[in-house]
Amino acid sequence: MKVLLIKAVKGLGKEGDVKEVANGYGGNYLIPRGLAVAATPGIIKEFEQKKQVEAGKQKREENTAESLAERLQGVVLTFTARAGEQGKLFGSITAADIATGLEMETGHVVDKRKVVLEQPIRELGRYTVPIKLMANIAPEVTVVVQSAEA
CA–CA distances in Å: residue 38 to residues 4, 16, 108, 123: 6, 12, 45, 61
Four-CA torsion 110, 112, 113, 117, nearest 10 degrees = 120
CB atoms within 10 A of CB 147: 13
Per-residue pLDDT at 131: 93
Q: Using one digit for the tens of pLDDT, what is the confidence trace for 47-61?
A: 889 989 999 999 999
- Give the pLDDT of residue 107: 87
Chain-centre distance of CA 81, in angstroms? 30
Distance, C-alpha 136 to centroid of its chain: 10
**Predicted pLDDT at 122:** 93
pLDDT value for 148: 81
What percentage of the chain exceeds 70 in pLDDT?
99
Q: What are the C-alpha distances in Å from 132 to residues 76, 117, 138, 141? A: 17, 10, 4, 11
The pLDDT tens digits for 101-138 are 999 988 888 899 999 999 999 999 999 999 998 888 99
Q: Would you say how long the chain is, in residues?
A: 150
Nearest residue to 131 via CA among 57, 145, 108, 88: 108
**0.75 exceeded by pTM:** no
Tell whether the model's pLDDT for residue 150 goes beyond 60.
Answer: no
Higher pLDDT among residues 150 and 93, named by residue: 93
SS3 content of the chain, % helix, strand, coil (to 5): 35, 30, 30
Beta strands in the chain (DSSP E): 2-5, 18-20, 36-38, 76-81, 88-93, 121-123, 125-130, 140-147
What's the pLDDT score for residue 85? Answer: 85
* Domains of the chain listed by start with CATH number: 2-62 (3.40.5.10), 66-147 (3.10.430.100)
In this structure, are residues 120 and 89 in contact, taking their beta carbons and an 8 Å threshold? Answer: no
Report the pLDDT value the prediction gives residue 73, as an integer from 0 to 100.
Answer: 86
For residue 87, what pLDDT band results from cuts at 50, 70 and 90?
Answer: confident
